[in-house]
Amino acid sequence: MTVEAGRILEALGAVTLHASGQPLPASGRLSAIAVEGSRVAFSIAIDATEAAAMEPVRRAAEEAARSVPGVTQALVTLTADKPAGQAAPARQSAPARSAGAGAPRLQEIPGVKHVVAIASGKGGVGKSTTACNIALGLAALGLKVGVLDADIYGPSMPKIFGLKGKPKVVSGRTIAPLEAYGVKVMSIGFMVDEETPMIWRGPMVISAITQMLREVAWGELDVLIVDMPPGTGDAQLTMAQATPLAGAVIVSTPQDLALIDARRGVAMFRRTEVPILGIVENMATYICPNCGHEEHIFGHGGARAEAARLDAPFLGEVPLDLRIRESSDEGRPITAVSPDSPHALAYKAIAEQVWEALAGATFRRPAPLIVFE
Ligand code: ADP
């Protein structure tokens, strides 16, 4: 059965704002309603000061959406453009806010020293695998590390880290990340089925990322690694802007086409004034496990040359190896389970350079203004 957004809106008509008695759809606070099969998601714009008061409305909206025939899952989030605790102006007009106009500069995440994006110009180059193993490489240096799976279109961290189950609420709306191999992990994949990613629209992307950044009890972290969605489109740009990033690492395979995409990734981060910490060449060399013969299936050295051309650091290369794929797909990442293997050493060497770039960096960049089309 196909669920229509109109039916959801109808059902939401029964949900009223306590203060004004106004029906939710008339309040101008609703985002677009995303429907994917039997799943529904949308957000409600609020002032941060209203978070507690609006929680019953959020729950009622979720229940109303779930009551529509054909809906099996409803995810409703509250979106505030100022973190709680900041002096928010008393009740601005909601429609202006939900359109993202005049969004404030993003705040640092309390307790988190450095937020680093791992990005790629396109999917399938091994971005998530690299993000996971860099995180484990940083943890091997004795650092406190978290991973935020912001690849909301295809969350893969639950699988790569071998994590199942739902994060627990620790207080109010704050949830605890899950933990594997000493690394704290948060992924939208813990909330929704990984197999059927939802359709996300601009404000929802911001809402999801903001919640995963700020409503998760990360505790004290030296580095929070953010696995970005692949590509350099609007959603990626928005996400880069929504995250107080200290820097970005671009993952590419060596062939020309991938490098063109990687170049776009570098350009995107430069446009948002995020420092490029470096480029990683993934799937660079293939060494035949039987005869030891070395092959360069996708070419070799392209990313190093591209890094030089773009005046970005080259962080290293990771070979194409069955063990990396198998361990990643089994939820037993190679840097954790075979820490002395050449692959783990390659990831650790990359992690060391990332840390040097961060620890040496005295800046922490305020995020630029978010502008929605
Ligand atoms: P992305 O996040 O860029 O889409 P993934 O990290 O999910 O890419 O990797 C895509 C596939 O390639 C996965 O099956 C992963 O295990 C595999 N993979 C990634 N890096 C390597 C590598 N260096 N050698 C072998 N397989 C790899």
| Distance (Å, whole) CA 250 – CA 231 | 11
**Using CA positions, which residue lies closest to atom 17 of ligand 1?**
325
Residues with CB under 6 A from ligand 1: 120, 123-129, 156, 230, 282-283, 318, 320-321, 324-325, 328-329
pLDDT at 84 over 60: no
pTM, to two decimals:
0.70
pLDDT at 47 over 60: yes
**Using CA positions, which residue lies closest to atom 24 of ligand 1?**
320
pLDDT at 299: 61
pLDDT at 258: 66
**Using CA positions, which residue lies closest to atom 27 of ligand 1?**
325
Q: How far is the CA of 151 from the centre of ligand 1 (A)?
A: 14
pLDDT at 369 over 60: no
Q: What is the mean pLDDT of residues 53-69?
A: 90
Pocket test for ligand 1, best of 298, 318, 328, 338 (most atoms within 8 A of CB): 328
**Mean of all residue pLDDT scores within the chain:** 81
Reported as a pLDDT band with limits 50, 70 and 90, residue 272 is: confident
Q: Averaging pLDDT over each range in 203-207, 220-224, 242-246, which range is the top one?
A: 220-224
Q: Are strands 39-46 and 73-80 parallel, antiparallel or unpaired?
A: parallel
| Distance (Å, whole) CA 45 – CA 67 | 22
The CA distances from residue 274 to 241, 260, 267, 342, 344, in Å, are 9, 19, 10, 31, 27
Three-state DSSP class for residue 101: coil
pLDDT at 365 over 50: no
pLDDT at 96 over 70: no
Q: Worst-scoring range by mean pLDDT, 55-59, 78-82, 98-102, 259-263? A: 98-102
Please name the amino acid found at residue 311: D
- Measured from the Cα of 343, ligand 1's closest atom is 23
Give the residue with greater pLDDT, 195 vs 71. Answer: 71
pLDDT at 103: 35
Note whether 100 and 204 are within 8 A (CB). no
pLDDT at 198: 63
How do residues 113-159 score in pLDDT, each as one tens digit? 999 999 998 888 999 999 999 999 999 999 999 999 988 778 899 99
| Distance (Å, whole) CA 37 – CA 282 | 35
| Percent of the chain at pLDDT exceeding 70 | 81
| Distance (Å, whole) CA 228 – CA 239 | 8
Q: What is the DSSP letter of 72?
A: -
Domains and CATH numbers, the chain: 5-79 (3.30.300.130), 112-359 (3.40.50.300)
The CA distances from residue 13 to 24, 28, 39, 42, 133, in Å, are 6, 12, 19, 15, 47
pLDDT at 188 over 70: yes
Q: Tell me the angle at which helices 234-242 and 202-214 cross, rounded to the nearest 10 degrees.
A: 30
Number of helices (H) and strands (E), helices first, in the chain?
Answer: 12, 15
- Measured from the Cα of 132, ligand 1's closest atom is 6
Residues across the chain: 373
Q: What is the mean pLDDT of residues 164-184?
A: 90
**Using CA positions, which residue lies closest to atom 4 of ligand 1?**
124
Q: How far is the CA of 282 from the centre of ligand 1 (A)?
A: 9
Cross-strand pairs, 216? 175
pLDDT at 97 over 90: no
pLDDT at 259: 76
Give the residue with greater pLDDT, 344 vs 95. Answer: 344
- Provide the sign of the torsion angle of the four alpha carbons 169, 174, 177, 183, taken in this order: negative
Note whether 138 and 145 are within 8 A (CB). yes
| Distance (Å, whole) CA 52 – CA 54 | 5
Structure token digits, residue 194? 């990984």
How do residues 212-232 score in pLDDT, each as one tens digit? 888 899 999 999 999 998 888
Note whether 318 and 324 are within 8 A (CB). yes
Reported as a pLDDT band with limits 50, 70 and 90, residue 271 is: confident
Three-state DSSP class for residue 187: strand
The CA distances from residue 251 to 128, 264, 277, in Å, are 9, 12, 11
* DSSP calls for 196-239: SPPP--HHHHHHHHHHHHHSB---SEEEEEEEPPSS-SHHHHHH
- Measured from the Cα of 131, ligand 1's closest atom is 6
| Distance (Å, whole) CA 12 – CA 66 | 10
| Percent of the chain at pLDDT exceeding 90 | 36
